[in-house]
Chain A
Amino acid sequence: MLENSNPLVLDVNDVRKSFAGKQAVRGVSFQVRSGEIVGFLGPNGAGKTTTLRMALGLIAPDSGTVKLFGQAPGPSAFGRVGFLPEERGLYAKISARDGIAHIACLNGMKRKDALKRADDMLERYGLGDVARKKIKTLSKGMAQKVQLIAAIAHDPEFLILDEPFSGLDPVNQKLLEDMVREIAGRGRTIVFSTHVMEHAERLCDKIVLLSQGQKIFDGDLKQALSYAPRRLEIETPDPKAEAVFTPLAQQITRNGDTYNIVLKPDKEAQHVLAESMKATLSLIRFEPEKPSLHEAFVTLVANGDKS
């Protein structure tokens, strides 16, 4: 867990944005500190992309403030930020190395250095042999990796990745995950939006969850997981088992001698174990299930939608 005293990289404070009278973002606030990997989660239309665009200064909020490196986002942050937009693309008719070098040059690198960096990074990420091929000839996965390289070639302090894993096959998703982990390992700050909870679970220090334009959760992974329903799988032939479990369970599903139990919010697995011992149930199997971020996400969104 990172110290809260790390300098603020991004400070989004009560931002709102409407398009044609429809509110896309409604009073969202969150902070990103140096060195954090923040997962920006939310269902489609939650306002993730609009919020990230406001964070970069690409669009101005209707109200609220954004501070990037302590200042209003814009030219002062050019060269310090790497951005992978949701709708991806590069110049189709130029080579991969030229496409990467062009963005790196705009981020302040000299052309000669940018070309060398492009060659090095393409080689490092297994694209050395397509460095001089036109981007339009590359596969989708390759083009996506080229674009990520273009976003990070100038070694930015802060990286914003909008849905970086979408459209990639599992092999390339794993590769991209390794890239993100490697960048984070160098102390860089990363915010990425995703629908794939497993990536967030594996990569993030912190999670911000949006639903219908509002923030419904902002905290670390452990806190997020606490919202996931806790499940147990118990196998017992004892006929009084259901009566023992019922006071502790929110939901019980029985399949033969196997009980799938969703615990009440105030109950823990050890309570079930203790009650089972007390009732002298003969347990064949007692398996608490690891809470998943996916379930926490579904619960939080459902709670958010109700509110």
Chain B
Amino acid sequence: MSSFPISIRRTLIIARRDFLGYIKTWGFWLTALGPFLGIIFGVLFPLVMSKSEPTRYATILDETGLHASAIEELLITNNTKELEYILRSAARITIPQKDKEAFNKVLDEQGVEAAREMILKTSPVMAKVLNLPDTKLVFISPPANTMDALKPYLLGTNTLTLANQEQSLTGVLHIFERDGETKAEYWSTAPGNELVNLADLYFANKASENYMASAGLSREEVLKIRKNALEVSTFNPGKERDENGEQTVTAKDRIPYFFAAAMAMMLWFAVFTGAYMLLMSMVEEKINKVLEMLLATTRFSEIFLGKLIGVAALTLASLLPWMILGGIGLYGAMQFADGAIADGLAKAMSLEMLIFLPTFFILGYVFYGSIFIALGAIAESMQDASTLMTPMVLLLTACIMVVPIGIAYPDSPMLTAAAWFPFSAPFAAVIRLPSDPPLWETLGSMAVLVTSSVFVIWGSARMFRYGVLSGGGMASVKAWFSRVVFRRKNG
């Protein structure tokens, strides 16, 4: 039976069935809705939790009279810093590049409320979602003068009327002197220790200040000096000189590597997801005994190609929300982010990347997909599928190790070698693109993948026919190894 030409119609019917068969599963929707679930659970859920978190009332019983107000001030300073961080993060995607300097000036000089007003004017949408967190730890004056008298407030025996509600105390920080030494104890019935952390930070700062003061130094001054310390500039002699004649390495130069790493990871994820679905689809059809009936009406090459197309469409569909969100993020970054980031992203999406990324994406998918289809054909059960999957998962995991190498050492000989090894080539070739490897090397990686894919498809087709139609399976593979490799007569 010849393999070609194939019937496009039958191929698409097989593809359609595989696509529709999996699109109705929970796994697909969990993957597809991953970004949105991530937003809900990663961003909105903590926000809701933080909003619904009850206000905690604590007090400081400072018998020394030296520390209470300073600790309360530290809490305010920390809260302000947190708010500033949130506002600066929000400004990255809402304040146009030309107004960024003005925004920073407003935040530094006029404070968080003025900065928030500025964001509200620029982006009403952001204004709706930008709810600055309220502090949930509130200090009140001690309702009693001794620790023993305060304990009933911790136990709820005594209560206080605060914000029109009867409240008990969450914790008491008791600072006192004993034997000439300052002691601090925290009393609470709740497991949380945020006030302990705050007090620890205060006392650590205080100890540094006292030590420095003994030598006539100021901690504030030391921090200021550290801020103005000399920074090492990075240069790349291979880089084209900029308008100032400099060869300084900036974020713009690093971003393409991170972008390529992200693309390689996405390719890895797509290959992993798609290949896994192919394996499962194959095993399911084999276990369900559907394949033999299909083969009476359809060429095996049509089933093979149909499965590859169906699962590719499925993988793309599951990645679509990620791609949409990524695209929005990319657009936002190029519109609002620092000039260097925007320039870096523009540089990352070079012509080579636009041409070779989809090419390696397809080749990588076909290469791995064919292997997994063949493995599915020889698996006789889900347990067999898991057993066969394990070495492939290990191999795939080893191959993704090229990503950190690509970011840190793009000219590493290991990475160059990985680009010629078919299992790692799709990822290594993509991650190498920002370092402008010679074109022949990239084309060479492609040739290796094409050749390997052809070989794998040929081998997979043989295994498919052998595994599905000739009663071959895991047992036959073991028998073959025993007979041919280990030369045992009764394998």
Interface residues of chain A, those whose CB is within 8 Å of chain B, are 19-20, 53, 56-60, 72-75, 78-79, 81-85, 87-94, 102-103, 105-107, 147, 150-151, 160
Question: Residues of A contacting B295 with CB < 8 Å?
Answer: 58
Q: A19-B471, A105-B13 are in contact. Are A90 and B288 (CB under 8 A)?
A: yes
Cβ contact of A83, chosen from B14, B24, B290, B296, cutoff 8 A:
B296
Question: Residues of A contacting B476 with CB < 8 Å?
Answer: 20
Residue of B whose beta carbon sits closest to that of A60: B1
* Complex A-B: 10 CB contacts under 8 Å: A19-B470, A58-B292, A74-B1, A83-B296, A85-B293, A87-B289, A89-B290, A90-B290, A92-B288, A147-B293
Residue of A whose beta carbon sits closest to that of B297: A106
Question: Residues of B contacting A58 with CB < 8 Å?
Answer: 292, 295-296, 469
Residue of B whose beta carbon sits closest to that of A92: B288
Q: Is the CB of A85 within 8 A of B1?
A: no
B475 to chain A, nearest CB (A): 11
Q: Is the CB of B298 within 8 A of A78?
A: yes
CA–CA, A151 and B293, complex, Å: 8
Question: Residues of A contacting B292 with CB < 8 Å?
Answer: 58, 83, 85, 87
CA–CA, A160 and B295, complex, Å: 13
CB of B432 within 8 Å of the partner chain: no
Question: Residues of A contacting B290 with CB < 8 Å?
Answer: 89-91
CA–CA, A60 and B2, complex, Å: 12
Cβ contact of A91, chosen from B10, B21, B296, B299, cutoff 8 A:
B21
Question: Residues of A contacting B389 with CB < 8 Å?
Answer: none
Question: Residues of A contacting B285 with CB < 8 Å?
Answer: 91
CB of B120 within 8 Å of the partner chain: no
CB of B479 within 8 Å of the partner chain: yes
Contact mask for chain B residues 465-483; partner A; CB cutoff 8 A; 1 contact, 0 none: 1000111000010010000
CB of B76 within 8 Å of the partner chain: no
Residue of B whose beta carbon sits closest to that of A102: B17
Q: Is the CB of A106 within 8 A of B469?
A: no
A133 to chain B, nearest CB (A): 15
Q: Is the CB of A89 within 8 A of B13?
A: no
Q: A20-B479, A74-B1, A106-B13 are in contact. Are A59 and B469 (CB under 8 A)?
A: yes
CB of B160 within 8 Å of the partner chain: no
Cβ contact of B1, chosen from A53, A75, A103, A107, cutoff 8 A:
A75
CB of B294 within 8 Å of the partner chain: yes
CA–CA, A87 and B471, complex, Å: 12
Known: A78-B298, A103-B293. 14 other contacts (CB 8 A): A20-B476, A60-B1, A83-B293, A87-B289, A88-B289, A89-B289, A90-B293, A91-B290, A93-B21, A103-B297, A105-B13, A106-B13, A106-B294, A147-B293
Cβ contact of A106, chosen from B2, B287, B298, cutoff 8 A:
B298
CA–CA, A85 and B290, complex, Å: 9
Task: Specify the main secondary structure of chain A where it touches its partner.
Answer: loop
CA–CA, A72 and B465, complex, Å: 18
Question: Residues of A contacting B289 with CB < 8 Å?
Answer: 85, 87-89
B14 to chain A, nearest CB (A): 8
Question: Residues of A contacting B294 with CB < 8 Å?
Answer: 103, 106
Residue of B whose beta carbon sits closest to that of A87: B289
Q: A75-B299, A107-B297, A151-B293 are in contact. Are A57 and B1 (CB under 8 A)?
A: yes
Q: Is the CB of B297 within 8 A of A89?
A: no
Interface residues of chain B, those whose CB is within 8 Å of chain A, are 1-2, 7, 10, 13-14, 17, 21, 24, 285, 287-290, 292-299, 465, 469-471, 476, 479
Question: Residues of B contacting A85 with CB < 8 Å?
Answer: 289, 292-293, 296
Residue of A whose beta carbon sits closest to that of B295: A58
Cβ contact of B297, chosen from A19, A53, A79, cutoff 8 A:
A79
CA–CA, A92 and B284, complex, Å: 9
Question: Residues of B contacting A107 with CB < 8 Å?
Answer: 297
Question: Residues of A contacting B1 with CB < 8 Å?
Answer: 57, 60, 72-75
A94 to chain B, nearest CB (A): 7
Residue of A whose beta carbon sits closest to that of B306: A106
Question: Residues of A contacting B21 with CB < 8 Å?
Answer: 91, 93-94
CA–CA, A74 and B3, complex, Å: 11
Residue of B whose beta carbon sits closest to that of A73: B1
CA–CA, A73 and B296, complex, Å: 10
Question: Residues of B contacting A84 with CB < 8 Å?
Answer: 293
Question: Residues of B contacting A147 with CB < 8 Å?
Answer: 293
Q: Is the CB of B296 within 8 A of A56?
A: yes
Shortest beta-carbon contacts, A-B, top 7: A89-B289, A83-B296, A89-B288, A85-B292, A74-B1, A106-B297, A87-B289
Residue of A whose beta carbon sits closest to that of B5: A75
Q: A20-B479, A90-B288 are in contact. Are A53 and B469 (CB under 8 A)?
A: yes
CA–CA, A150 and B40, complex, Å: 45
Q: Is the CB of A102 within 8 A of B470?
A: no
Q: Is the CB of A150 within 8 A of B13?
A: no
CA–CA, A92 and B479, complex, Å: 31
Question: Residues of A contacting B10 with CB < 8 Å?
Answer: 106
CA–CA, A106 and B297, complex, Å: 6
CA–CA, A72 and B2, complex, Å: 11
A108 to chain B, nearest CB (A): 8
CA–CA, A53 and B2, complex, Å: 17
Residue of B whose beta carbon sits closest to that of A154: B297
Question: Residues of B contacting A59 with CB < 8 Å?
Answer: 465, 469-470
A286 to chain B, nearest CB (A): 52
Question: Residues of B contacting A151 with CB < 8 Å?
Answer: 293
| Most chain A C-beta atoms within 10 Å of own C-beta, residue among B2, B17, B285 | B17
Residue of A whose beta carbon sits closest to that of B289: A89
CA–CA, A58 and B299, complex, Å: 9
CA–CA, A57 and B299, complex, Å: 10
| Most chain B C-beta atoms within 10 Å of own C-beta, residue among A58, A60, A81, A106 | A106
Residue of B whose beta carbon sits closest to that of A77: B296
CA–CA, A107 and B10, complex, Å: 9
Question: Residues of B contacting A53 with CB < 8 Å?
Answer: 469
Question: Residues of B contacting A94 with CB < 8 Å?
Answer: 21
Question: Residues of A contacting B469 with CB < 8 Å?
Answer: 53, 58-59
CA–CA, A90 and B14, complex, Å: 14
| Most chain A C-beta atoms within 10 Å of own C-beta, residue among B287, B292, B476 | B292
CA–CA, A74 and B296, complex, Å: 8
B133 to chain A, nearest CB (A): 46
B485 to chain A, nearest CB (A): 15
Question: Residues of B contacting A105 with CB < 8 Å?
Answer: 13
Q: Is the CB of B288 within 8 A of A78?
A: no
A151 to chain B, nearest CB (A): 7
Residue of A whose beta carbon sits closest to that of B480: A20
Q: Is the CB of A102 within 8 A of B13?
A: yes
Question: Residues of B contacting A78 with CB < 8 Å?
Answer: 297-298
